[in-house]
Amino acid sequence: MSARLEAQFAFLNEADRLKSVMRATTLCDGSRRENSGEHSWHLALYALVLADQAAPGVDISRVIRMLLIHDLVEIDVGDVPIHSADGKAHSSTSVQEAESRAADRIFGLLPDDLAQDLRALWDEFEAAETPDAVFAKSLDRVQPVIANLQSGGGTWIEYNVTAEQLESRVGVKIAKGAPRLWDWVREKTRGYFR
C-alpha cells in the first residue's frame, strides 16, 4: 500500500503547481489574473450549478471530474489564451503535442489504474466528442466571458477581440454544449461590443 500512496501523492503534490500557472483572464473584480487551479475549481462549481443547461443524458459527476483535471497539462505547457496569436495558438499542432507529452508525464505519476482512468478522461475532454466532454468544453469557454463581463472587458481589450471573433472562437463552442446559455450570455455581451 505504501508504494501506491507514494505514487498518489507524487501526483497530488505535482498538481499543486497548477496554482502557479497564470491565465490571461482576471478575477471578476479585476484585481489580478486568475490561476489555473482556482479556475478549475470555479468551473467544477459551474457544472454543479448549471447542470440544468446540459443536454439530456450528460453525467454531471463525470463532467466535474473532467473539469478538475482538464488543465493539469498546463503545469508543463502553460496556459495558451484563446485570443492570443489572432486565435490560432490555442489549437495549434505544436501546443497539442506538448500537452499530450505533459499528460504522459503528469498522469504517469499515478498508480497504473488511476493513470489510465484519468488519462482516458482527459483524452475524452480534449477530443470534445462525447456529450459529457462537449458540455465541459462549453463551461470552460463561458467562464472567461463572464469574468470579462464582470471586470469591464478583460482579455477582449487586451487582444482587441471583436463580436465576430467572440462568436467564432468562443460562442460556437458554448452553443454546442449549452445553447440556451450562450443565447443568454451573448445578449449580455452586446452591451460591451456595441
CA distance 87 to 168: 10
| One residue of 23, 24, 40, 155 binding a copy of itself per CB under 8 A | 40
Compute the least distance from the CB of residue 68 to a copy of itself, in Å.
Answer: 5
First to last CA, the chain: 60
On whether the CB atoms of residues 128 and 137 are closer than 8 A, the answer is yes
Encode 75-88: b = buried (16+ Cβ within 10 Å), e = exposed. Answer: bbbebbbbbeeebe
Compute the least distance from the CB of residue 59 to a copy of itself, in Å.
Answer: 9
CA distances from 70 to 30, 125, 128, 161 (A): 24, 7, 12, 25
- Applying CB under 8 A, what is the total number of residues that bind a copy of itself? 46
8-27: which residues touch a copy of itself (CB under 8 A)? 8-9, 11-13, 15-17, 19-20, 27
Q: What is the DSSP letter of 51?
A: G
Residue 156 or 182 having the CB closest to a copy of itself: 182
| One residue of 23, 24, 46, 170 binding a copy of itself per CB under 8 A | 46
Q: Which residues bind a copy of itself (CB under 8 A)?
A: 1-2, 4-5, 8-9, 11-13, 15-17, 19-20, 27-29, 31, 34-35, 37-38, 40-42, 44-46, 48-50, 52, 61, 64-65, 68-69, 110, 114, 118, 146-147, 150, 180-181, 184
